[in-house]
Amino acid sequence: MKALTFKGGVHPLHKQHEGKNLSKDAELRVFSPAMVVIPMSQHIGAPCKPCVAVGDQVLLGQLIGEPCGFVSSPIHASVSGKVIAVEPRPHLNGSKVMSVVIENDGRDELDPSVKPKGTLDSLSQEELKKVILEAGIVGMGGAAFPAHVKYAIKPEQKVDYLILNGAECEPFLTSDHRMMLEQSEKIALGAAILKKASGAPVCIIGIENNKPDAIASMKEAIMGYDGLSVAELQTKYPQGGEKQLIKAVTGREVPRGGLPIAAGCIVSNVSTAAAMADAVTSGMPLVRRSVTVTGSVKEPSNFIAPVGTRYSDLFEACGGFDGEPAKIISGGPMMGLSVADPDIPMTKGTSGITVFSEQVYKPVLESNCIRCARCVEACPVGLEPYILDAAALRSNVDVLQAKDAMSCINCGCCTYVCPAKRNLAQSIALGKKILTKATKN
Amino acid sequence: MNKSLNVSASPHVRDARTTQSLMGDVLIALLPAGIAGVYFFGLKALLLIAVGVISAVGSEFLYQKATKQKVTVTDLSAAVTGLLLAYNVPVTAEWWQVMIGSAFAIVIVKQLFGGLGFNIVNPALAARAVLQASWATSMNTFYVDGVASATPLAQLKAGGVTSASLLDMFIGNTAGCIGEVSALLLILGGLYLLIRRVIKWHIPVAYIGTFAVFMAIYSMATGKTLDSFMLPQLLGGGLMLGAFFMATDYVSCPMTSKGQIIFGIGAGLLTSIIRLWGGYPEGASYSILLMNLVTPLIDKATKPRIYGSEVKTNA
């Protein structure tokens, strides 16, 4: 079968195997830090309210943050031990966020709430949705959007496809790859569970063809389940973008401004499926995840680490930096956020950390657009980034609106290909803010 | 960890291509045709090429210094403009005419409109048009083998047959401008640009293809043979230089593949019409200039389709 794909896109670091060779053969290592810093805000929506106090003994899987509102997901202790602080701590978003700091006693004593919830067959669709909410399951591909919101399907909406995202198109990252190799059965079970929860008749697992071993292992793991299949995708960024994945796998498009459900699709990450399988079979809420730590570190690795593990602890577990670090990226180099403080903690959405040393990272300067059209060709959405860039820099609301800045998915393909090194994606993100503000008034 | 970390918006990796490397590739691709020009027309051709490039780069440097802007001559775009202008004049042109032409291209056509990326038409072609209008004699006197001669296109225009053999026209041993005579080496340069993905095939193929079809039909309709009329038309004048190097100028050509095909067809038709029924024997440069002017309209008409447009919502 021919590998599926979408229109546009780029091939970053193609000659270096997307940077993935650094860590793709490193088996998942269980990491247990001396301390975790668990932020009460892990995604958009209202932050959770801490429900433990300094001095409390907490158990693994115990609720420590209560959700406030619908777009909010509960947070559980990722280790057992003593709460040593409940205070604002530095966060990925650049500000300080209320966090629960737990000293790890290393015993991983389970909270009594952590017990098997049932099986795929014994639990109803509604019961499964309740597990999604109570286990604090969020999208583990990066944005950490609460999964119970995604799976809260209105009665008039029909789900034709559940798509599991195993594309891992972001250069350097290999955490999903390792999960598909080492925990393929868990992912397959999770796929079946999410399929039942969503009510979709089929679940398709999309994997880029630079991971033939993962494709093989997932194909084997899904045998015995009804309605599960694996789709081979072309290795092209942003193949794992929700809208691009839907187009590649189903041929459908999500209507402009709409969510995947508007195209009859729900997309979840493969690691989310694995977390869901744990939540059902052992009752373990989402407290740990796979994370790749790679780039300019001595020993690029894939870990299973508790949520709240500080980046600096992971770097140490990788044998330290290889050279003086110039940039630390939460995520991969295409869409990841650069961080200012290496002591910030990982969240439920942290799939990887990429470090660029001074030898690797070379800042570039912008020059005039030469109208080479590379951005137009690369844009997977069909936008004209060079026009949006100019419009954003002039705060030209009419052009931003007419050229549909809001459809930008911020994948960064335009910036990546630009020979004039213009910060197109950044500029368009600014344009979206200008537009949002203007349309509110 | 003594130093502070770099923080910037994503993406954090960039493609290796730069404006400078693209322009550098264009210079490399143009080199063989220039060497042929010097070989066929003598050292005067080399002098004019040098003057063209130095004047273009020098005037950009001086203009940017005078207006207190960042000097950007290292992006090599001015060098490309100067080189193209020199390629577009006959060896009979005076060095100071080329100097003025290059300065006009850079200062008037490029910088006054906002610099690189903002000019409306191709600077070298606009400057060539100015030189044509200003010094018609020296811009229209051609030599071959050291003897004054009409260009093959002028001979065809006069209703006759061209005295140049097709082989001579193919390799460049014919009367014409310095850089336009060797169809062979221009095609070679064009292929280099295509392989290096500096340009896409759409404009050259649509342009040359449209022109060839038009000329073939005309040849047959007027009882001429293809090798006495259509082929000399294809190999003569500035068609190859124009199709591969001038019409593909990023700044003044359309953005999408569809737009580029329209642009190429338009340029092919205009070149045919000017050569057959216009006042000039040659029409490549004017047809590209005219198409440059409609590029914004083509861009508007051929904008890409946005994902999710006119898609029905589920329930």
Assess contact for B109 and B100: CB atoms under 8 A. no
Number of C-beta neighbours around residue B47 at 10 A: 15
**B115 reaches A (C-beta below 8 A):** yes
pLDDT at A49 over 70: yes
**B12 reaches A (C-beta below 8 A):** yes
C-alpha count within 13 angstroms, C-beta hemisphere, residue A321 = 19
B160 confidence band (pLDDT: 50, 70, 90): confident
**B10 reaches A (C-beta below 8 A):** yes
Please judge whether B10 and A412 are an interchain contact, meaning their C-beta atoms are less than 8 angstroms apart. Answer: yes
Residue B194, amino acid: L
The average confidence (pLDDT) of chain A is 94
Alpha carbon dihedral A194, A196, A200, A204, in 10-degree steps, equals: 50
Better pLDDT: B315 or A259: A259
pLDDT digits (tens, 9 = 90+) for A129-186: 999 999 999 999 878 899 999 999 988 889 999 999 999 999 999 999 999 999 999 9
**B6 reaches A (C-beta below 8 A):** yes
The Cα-based distances of A2 to A44, B173, B252 in angstroms read 37, 51, 38
Comparing CB atoms, the residue among A158, A367, A407 nearest residue B315 is A158
ipTM for this prediction? 0.92
3-state secondary structure of A49: strand
Q: What pTM was estimated for this model as a whole?
A: 0.93
What whole-number distance in Å separates Cα of residue A22 and Cα of residue A16? 10
Q: What is the pLDDT of residue B163?
A: 83
Token output for B266: 């338009």
Residues 6+ apart with CB under 8 A from B217: none
**B21 reaches A (C-beta below 8 A):** yes
Q: How far is A230 from chain B (nearest CA, A)?
A: 24
pLDDT at A1 over 80: no
Q: How far is B239 from chain A (nearest CA, A)?
A: 22
Q: What is the pLDDT of residue A53?
A: 95
Q: What's the rounded mean pLDDT across residues B8-14?
A: 94
Q: What's the rounded mean pLDDT across residues A282-310?
A: 97
- For chain A, domains (ranges, CATH) are 1-31+115-363 (3.40.50.11540), 374-440 (no CATH)
Comparing CB atoms, the residue among B3, B75, B256 nearest residue A324 is B3
pLDDT digits (tens, 9 = 90+) for B108-159: 999 999 999 999 999 999 999 999 999 988 888 888 887 888 899 988 888 7
Query: Looking at chain B, which residue has its C-alpha nearest residue A381?
Result: B307
A278 confidence band (pLDDT: 50, 70, 90): very high
pLDDT at A427 over 70: yes
Query: Looking at chain A, which residue has its C-alpha nearest residue B295?
Result: A371
Q: What is the pLDDT of residue B314?
A: 65
Within 8 A of A367 by CB-CB distance, chain B residues are 19, 72, 75, 116
Residues 6+ apart with CB under 8 A from A362: none
pLDDT at B243 over 90: yes
Pick the CATH number of B19-301 from 1.10.3430, 1.20.1690, 2.60.120, 1.10.260: 1.10.3430
pLDDT at B3 over 70: no
Q: How far is B85 from chain A (nearest CA, A)?
A: 19
Q: How far is A63 from chain B (nearest CA, A)?
A: 34
Q: What is the pLDDT of residue A45?
A: 79
Comparing CB atoms, the residue among B13, B307, B312 nearest residue A12 is B13
Domain boundaries, chain B: 19-301
Q: What is the pLDDT of residue B289?
A: 97
The average confidence (pLDDT) of chain B is 94
B212 confidence band (pLDDT: 50, 70, 90): very high
Please judge whether A336 and B72 are an interchain contact, meaning their C-beta atoms are less than 8 angstroms apart. Answer: no
Q: How far is A357 from chain B (nearest CA, A)?
A: 10
Within 8 A of A329 by CB-CB distance, chain B residues are 10, 12
Please judge whether B314 and A262 are an interchain contact, meaning their C-beta atoms are less than 8 angstroms apart. Answer: yes
Please judge whether A383 and B115 are an interchain contact, meaning their C-beta atoms are less than 8 angstroms apart. Answer: no
Please judge whether B13 and A340 are an interchain contact, meaning their C-beta atoms are less than 8 angstroms apart. Answer: no
- Return the percentage of chain A with pLDDT > 70, whole number: 100
Q: What's the rounded mean pLDDT across residues B210-224?
A: 94
Q: What is the pLDDT of residue B310?
A: 80
**B3 reaches A (C-beta below 8 A):** yes
B42 confidence band (pLDDT: 50, 70, 90): very high
